[in-house]
Amino acid sequence: MKAWSGRFQKDTGALMDDFHSSIGFDCRLAEEDIQGSIAHANMLGDCNIIKRPEADAIIIGLKKILEKVKAGQIEWDVKAEDIHMNIEKLLIQEIGETGKKLHTARSRNDQVALDARLYVRKEIAAIQNLFKELLKVLLEMAEREQDTILPGYTHLQRAQPILLGHHLLAYFEMFKRDLERTDDCLKRVVISPLGAGALAGTGFATNRHQIAAELDFQGVSCNSLDAVSDRDFVAEFIFIISLSMMHLSRFSEELVLWSSMEFGFVEMDDSYSTGSSIMPQKKNPDVVELVRGKTGRVYGDLMAILTILKGLPLAYNKDMQEDKEALFDAVDTLKGCVSIFIPMLQTLAFNKDKMLAATKDGFLNATDLADYLVAKGLPFRSAHSIVGKLVHYCLEQQKRLEELSLEEFQAASTLIEKDVYETLEIQKVVAVRNSYGGTSKKQVLAQLDMAKEWFHTIK
């Protein structure tokens, strides 16, 4: 018998049971469901809505079920539809008729909203711990590579030389923002919907604030319609996960490129690479390729939840049952990707000589020659034109800028003197980028200090 079957004359068919049931995936909310039910039972007893001994018996029964859940001793029943009714059925089996009183003054609508919030809060904490470990690794790598020079790129064309430490700190900033976003999201997660009932509240004299306090929530929802229909926090959390996956994917794409023979900047450790079933020489960067691919999957989860919610009238609709699989998948995917990304990064081997050699070709010091002329009094746009012509001349002569003779330089501009050669040295090009946040070693060390100081505040 279904909990709601009183007005029905027929049982649901087997196909309907399978189609309608969510226990196959929302069983993951068992611990959250029991946690919320214990707080609810406590409130019912304290408010004399049910007798205190009855509330205590319910709590004892729920704790026994929780132990069985943790021990993997529960077999979920598809006919009981979802995690809420499964737990209630188990409770009635455990303590008898008193178990039927647990659902007093609540609905599955506010119950599932609470479960989802408890789950998201738990997973935010888990993801934050992973982000902290990732940020720690990036800091260590950036400090270690503070003198390594490589080409910086725009349009995937060599642009200007930078320090590898500077490059790694750019990713530190991305994941720092992701971590900060989870903190901000958490403010909207820890609001208790329990007590909103199906949509209109309840006629019982409940104490919603007591439940919120027991669950360590920061407040209660102030509108019962919004309480049961709000999944903004789910969409927001998946959006944050999507942004994080995008950052991982950008990093992954660079590592795919850098590990190729064409770049040769980095080699993946054997532990995080695979080979080919036909080509014996291959070493494939499968970890980062999979991370890049799984990003699209998480984007799909975000589009799923947004599409589910976009046409729903107030309040609860069965469509909202579909939020959980997208949420679970996004969480699992991000956690899996970050968990393997951390040790993969720690085992990377950078080819510093290859990186430095790559800065020699592509005229990465051309901007510095233009700046040199500006320092001599020439307007930048005129200097830009002169250097552009010199680059064209070098291409024709198959020379680098620093290989031109002083006579060749002065044929382009009489402002150019012997000191130009010092200006064009790659190490000097990096060192002069000393503006705040730039790639000079002084600025990279300052960025490292700020990053470390911030990192210590979040431990």
> Judging by beta carbons within 10 Å of its beta carbon (0-12, 13-18, 19+), is residue 119 exposed, middle or buried?
buried
CB-CB contact of 186 with 216 (8 Å): no
- In this prediction, residues 194-211 reach a mean pLDDT of 97
Report helix angle 441-457 to 108-144, nearest 10: 140
The answer to whether residues 334 and 219 belong to one domain is: yes
- In a domain, residue 194? The reply is yes
- In a domain, residue 38? The reply is yes
pTM, entire model: 0.94
The answer to whether residues 203 and 239 belong to one domain is: yes
Per DSSP, the residues of 67-79 read: HHHHTT-----GG
Q: Give tens-digit pLDDT for 267-314.
A: 999 999 999 999 999 999 999 999 999 999 999 999 999 999 999 999
The answer to whether residues 198 and 317 belong to one domain is: yes
- In a domain, residue 455? The reply is no
Rounded distance between C-alpha atoms, residue 353 and residue 458, angstroms:
36
The answer to whether residues 257 and 121 belong to one domain is: yes
Last residue of a domain, one of 335, 353, 371: 353
- In this prediction, residues 190-204 reach a mean pLDDT of 97
Q: Give tens-digit pLDDT for 342-374.
A: 999 999 999 999 999 999 999 999 999 999 999
Task: Indicate whether 195 pLDDT > 90.
Answer: yes
Element of type H or E holding 151: strand 149-154
Q: Which of 143, 167, 230 is nearest to 193 (CA)?
A: 230
What does the pLDDT read at residue 12?
65
Rounded distance between C-alpha atoms, residue 75 and residue 201, angstroms:
33
The answer to whether residues 288 and 427 belong to one domain is: no
The answer to whether residues 331 and 220 belong to one domain is: yes
Rounded distance between C-alpha atoms, residue 340 and residue 65, angstroms:
34
Last residue of a domain, one of 331, 353, 375: 353
Domain count within the chain:
3
Rg (CA), the chain: 31
Residue-wise burial string across 419-430, b where 16 or more C-beta atoms lie within 10 A, e elsewhere: ebeebbebeebb
The answer to whether residues 308 and 230 belong to one domain is: yes
Q: Give tens-digit pLDDT for 90-125.
A: 999 999 999 999 999 999 999 999 999 999 999 999
Reading the block at residue 321, the tokens are 């049952």
Active site residues: 155, 276
- In a domain, residue 152? The reply is no
Mean pLDDT of the chain: 96
What does the pLDDT read at residue 322?
94
Least confident segment among 78-82, 160-164, 261-265, 429-433? 78-82
Q: Give tens-digit pLDDT for 215-273.
A: 999 999 999 999 999 999 999 999 999 999 999 999 999 999 999 999 999 999 999 99
- In a domain, residue 370? The reply is yes
- In this prediction, residues 191-211 reach a mean pLDDT of 97
The answer to whether residues 371 and 271 belong to one domain is: no
Rounded distance between C-alpha atoms, residue 44 and residue 52, angstroms:
8
Residue 399 domain boundaries: 358-447
Task: Indicate whether 9 pLDDT > 90.
Answer: no
- In a domain, residue 84? The reply is yes
Per DSSP, 152 falls in state: E
Last residue of a domain, one of 353, 384, 409: 353
What does the pLDDT read at residue 94?
97
The answer to whether residues 338 and 438 belong to one domain is: no
Q: Give tens-digit pLDDT for 400-418.
A: 999 999 999 999 999 999 9
What does the pLDDT read at residue 442?
98
Q: Which of 174, 190, 59 is nearest to 113 (CA)?
A: 190
The answer to whether residues 337 and 372 belong to one domain is: no
- In a domain, residue 192? The reply is yes
Beta strand extents in 304-445 (DSSP E only): 349-350
What does the pLDDT read at residue 21?
83
What does the pLDDT read at residue 11?
72
Inter-CA distances, 65 with 28, 91, 99, 163, 298, Å: 14, 7, 12, 56, 33
What does the pLDDT read at residue 147?
98
What does the pLDDT read at residue 35?
98
The answer to whether residues 18 and 79 belong to one domain is: yes
What does the pLDDT read at residue 443?
98
- In a domain, residue 399? The reply is yes
Task: Indicate whether 126 pLDDT > 80.
Answer: yes
What does the pLDDT read at residue 138?
98
Read off the CATH number of the domain in which 61 is found: 1.10.275.10
The answer to whether residues 408 and 315 belong to one domain is: no
- In this prediction, residues 139-148 reach a mean pLDDT of 98
Element of type H or E holding 157: strand 157-163
What does the pLDDT read at residue 20?
59
Those residues with Cβ within 8 angstroms of residue 22's Cβ, 6 or more apart along the chain or in another chain:
81, 82, 83, 321, 324
